[in-house]
Amino acid sequence: MAITGIAAGVPYLALPASTPGAPVVVGWHLLDSPRTEAAFAAAVPLDGLDAWRIYLGLPLSGSRLPEGGFEELGRLAAEDAVLNVHRPVAYGAAEEFRAAWPELRDQLGFTGTRIGVMGGSAGAAAAQLAALESAPALGLEVGAAVLISPVIRLRATITGLARQYGMTYAWSPESDEVARRLDFVARAGEFGDTPILAVVGELDDQEGFQGPAAELRAARGESAEVATIPGMGHALADEPGIEPAPQTTHAKEVDALATEWFRGHLGSLERA
């Protein structure tokens, strides 16, 4: 049975493990569908994985949408997608994780210091940032990562989406710095031995998503893989992607890949 709650101000949905001391996987949803923690849990529940699966809400999403809702979020993105959306979402999620983790352990009662991380699109940027910066600060070791339709190089994502929609983005020194921090190809060596699976859609933007996933794979060598889902675009759920919904065919494929990845790479965790 799913458990919902709030930890350090962060809304979450948790699916319990069946075995005491089982591993923990922490996930962050997309800004596209599924765009809430509950909808992401329904799309990628990691069924069959004996682990705590904890889905965290992103800043500027779900119950924490800005006043004015999606219309205001769209206005902020049009004004400056990097500084108004990607920076507060990725930076905020990674910072929130530091405060939420101790409360999650207290509320849910899990143990252990090695975890898996999972994220979709902007949530994948949050997952990578949490893996590189927040987890070490918490004394956690990231044993595996799954990145779905991921933002891996923010500059490439912004450039690709701007081209796709016939727009231009005016980079500034401030947004350049955000792009440097959210360039996980350039930071590939910081992942250590963490095995990374990037799952991309065959129909997703090549420059913004498919290309950076391939670059991360090349930079990581044998410790990373890319899986391409035929016929899949960027989203994992039908619109509006707010409430839990039946899995789409593509979400089922993603879920199966993610489940096997974590099962293969988190199975050797010590049982507390």
* Segment 49-101, tens digit of pLDDT: 999 999 999 999 999 999 999 999 999 999 999 999 999 999 999 999 999 99
Is the separation of the CB atoms in 195 and 144 below 8 Å? yes
Distance in Å from the first CA to the final CA of the chain = 22
Phi/psi at 226 (nearest 5 deg)? -120, 130
- Residue 159 — pLDDT band, cuts 50, 70, 90? very high
pLDDT at 26 over 80: yes
pTM confidence score = 0.96
The vertex-229 CA angle with 52 and 157, nearest 5°, equals: 85
CA-CA-CA-CA dihedral for 223, 114, 22, 228, to nearest 10? -30
Cα–Cα dist 133/124, whole Å = 14
Mean pLDDT score across all residues of the chain: 95
Is the separation of the CB atoms in 103 and 8 below 8 Å? yes
The mean pLDDT value for 24-32 works out to: 98
Q: pLDDT above 70 covers what percent of the chain?
A: 98
The mean pLDDT value for 162-168 works out to: 87
pLDDT of residue 172: 98
pLDDT of residue 174: 98
pLDDT at 269 over 60: no
Please give the radius of gyration of the chain, using alpha carbons only, rounded to the nearest integer. 17
